[in-house]
């Protein structure tokens, strides 16, 4: 992988805080790789991390691994840019932001793909079944208002997939003109839709399973049908890790083993996820969610490159990055290819 250049460091308003943090850290000196810090966001799509931690796979990496938990993708972006973490399991969009800001790093492996469901009240689902792309206009005619969607912030991964569904898949017009969108964190989406504050949401597992179990709600679309094989989360590492080929290859090897473990022992993998995530994710819920078509765990980074490029166009349009990051700058294929040659 060619090093990412110091490009586009003067950022427009809205991304200035991250840009300042990153630009101040681009030239930091190399540190010892006797140890490395791996960050993760406690979301279901980071399944490989839970397996690697509980099954002891990190112990086989030829460096002392410290694991740190973060509450959100943006918080990991800041820590990564500051040099506080060396590798992270998080969404593809934070990886794009870091690459766009000039951070020397790359995607070592995919974690998950096709990981969202668009859920709505029975009224919205029934109208969609009748009208297709006309659901938005029909709902507004009958209710005197637009469909209220709850999603994470603009430019987040679910926001990008929702935009693609409305604007490209349905060709229903610009998203902001056909729905009323409010910012709802994934963990709050279930309660928010149940309270009647929103009519629909785009949500990952296990929250999609929770909503689907409730009477009065149903599935509008699965993101795997909207944008086939789109990435969700990835294993991202800084250039120092990538250059330390033995460590990079070992991380990818253990990640691949965790993917295989999940495929072969899904109940055990789900149990590991529940034990680490906590926050109301019970073992029963985790096991039910792993059967969902929105639980698609992989390691091969080549499998997500095409749709990463497509999504990058939308992330740039929202303004979270200046322009789509070229595949050769965002991905570090070498370690994966080395262990699969």
Residue-wise pLDDT tens digits, 225-257: 999 999 999 999 999 999 999 999 999 999 999
Is 17's pLDDT higher than 70?
no
Is 87's pLDDT higher than 60?
yes
The secondary structure of residue 62, as a DSSP letter, is: S
For 314, other C-beta atoms within 10 Å of its C-beta total 21
Mean pLDDT computed over 139-163 = 94
276 contacts: CB under 8 Å, gap ≥ 6: 42, 49, 50, 53, 54
- In this prediction, residue 33 carries a pLDDT of 86
Buried b / exposed e across 199-236, counting CB within 10 Å, b at 16+? bbbbbbbbbbbbbbeeeebbebbbbbebbebbbbbbbb
Confidence of residue 3 (pLDDT cuts 50, 70, 90): very low
Confidence of residue 341 (pLDDT cuts 50, 70, 90): confident
Q: Encode pLDDT of 258-274 as tens digits.
A: 999 999 999 999 999 99
C-alpha 219/C-alpha 212 separation (Å) is 7
Single out the residue of 66, 102, 64, 63 nearest to residue 81, CA to CA: 102
Confidence of residue 74 (pLDDT cuts 50, 70, 90): confident
pTM of the model: 0.88
Strands 64-69 and 200-203: unpaired
Is 337's pLDDT higher than 70?
yes
Confidence of residue 25 (pLDDT cuts 50, 70, 90): very low
Q: Encode pLDDT of 288-311 as tens digits.
A: 999 999 999 999 999 999 999 999
């Amino acid at each position: 992988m060619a090093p990412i250049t110091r490009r586009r460091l003067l950022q427009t308003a809205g991304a200035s805080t991250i840009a300042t943090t990153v630009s101040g850290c681009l030239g930091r000196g190399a540190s010892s790789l006797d140890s490395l810090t791996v960050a993760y966001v406690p979301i279901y799509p980071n399944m490989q991390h839970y397996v690697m931690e509980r099954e002891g796979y990190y112990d086989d990496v030829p460096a002392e691994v410290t694991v740190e938990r973060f509450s959100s993708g943006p918080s990991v972006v800041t820590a990564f840019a500051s040099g506080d973490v060396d590798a992270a399991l998080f969404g593809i969009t934070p990886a794009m932001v870091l690459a766009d800001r000039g951070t020397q790093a790359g995607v070592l492996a995919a974690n998950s793909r096709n990981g969202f469901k668009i859920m709505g009240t029975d009224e919205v689902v029934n109208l969609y079944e009748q009208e297709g792309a006309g659901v938005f206009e029909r709902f507004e005619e009958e209710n005197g208002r637009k469909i209220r969607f709850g999603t994470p912030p603009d430019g987040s991964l679910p926001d990008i997939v929702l935009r693609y569904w409305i604007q490209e898949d349905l060709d229903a017009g610009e998203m902001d003109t056909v729905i009323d969108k409010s910012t709802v964190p994934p963990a709050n989406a279930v309660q928010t839709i149940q309270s009647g504050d929103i009519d629909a949401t785009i949500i990952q597992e296990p929250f999609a399973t929770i909503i689907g179990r409730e009477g009065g709600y149903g599935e509008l679309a699965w993101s795997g049908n909207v944008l086939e094989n789109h990435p969700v989360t990835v294993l991202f590492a800084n250039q120092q890790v990538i250059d330390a080929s033995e460590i990079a290859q070992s991380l990818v090897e253990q990640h691949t083993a965790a993917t295989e473990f999940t495929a072969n022992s899904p109940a055990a993998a789900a149990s590991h996820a529940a034990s680490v995530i906590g926050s109301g994710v019970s073992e029963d819920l985790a096991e039910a969610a792993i059967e969902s078509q929105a639980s698609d765990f992989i390691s091969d980074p080549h499998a997500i490159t095409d749709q990463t490029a497509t999504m990058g166009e939308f992330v740039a349009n929202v303004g979270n990055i200046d322009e789509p990051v070229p595949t050769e700058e965002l991905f570090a294929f070498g370690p994966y290819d080395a262990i699969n040659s």
